[in-house]
Amino acid sequence: MSDVLSHPRFQDEQAAYDWVEAHLWPDGPVCPRCGGLDRITKLQGKSTRIGTYKCKDCRKPFTVKVGTIFEDSHIPMRMWLQAIALLCASKEGISSNQLHRILGITLKSAWFMSHRLREAMRSGPLLSTSGTTRGSLSG
């Protein structure tokens, strides 16, 4: 397992964002608010967060996290990818306590991540943060 977690996408935040963007947006970034494809620029200022884009149509900034299980989370993307790899690699699942110990995050964060990941893996309609059901991760 240590060989898998030594990949750059699990250690570097920019590499983690690049990997997720390549899988969610194979044809380039898509604005989650207006669906724009053409007039999107990547923001690269000194104080700009990693992976932030701006849509010139609706004038709103966004990241690849919007509309996914990563949304509204302050946990680094590389930690999310590590948790996904650990959860998928363990035969009998992994507890929040074990995630907490392995990743070096708080138990509350580990619990939050494990619940979001399990919700994303179950079949049927997904629950939103408000308790109502949603049809997919992106909507």
**8-18 residue pLDDT tens:** 678 888 999 99
Which pLDDT band holds residue 139 (cuts at 50, 70, 90)? very low
pLDDT at position 126: 61
**Whole-number percent of the chain with pLDDT over 90:** 43
For the chain, give the secondary structure using H, E and C.
CHHHHCCHHHHCHHHHHHHHHHHHCCCCCCCCCCCCCCCEEECCCCCCCCCCEEECCCCCEECCCCCCCCCCCCCCHHHHHHHHHHHHHCCCCCCHHHHHHHHCCCHHHHHHHHHHHHHHHCCCCEECCCCCEECCCCC
pLDDT at position 137: 47
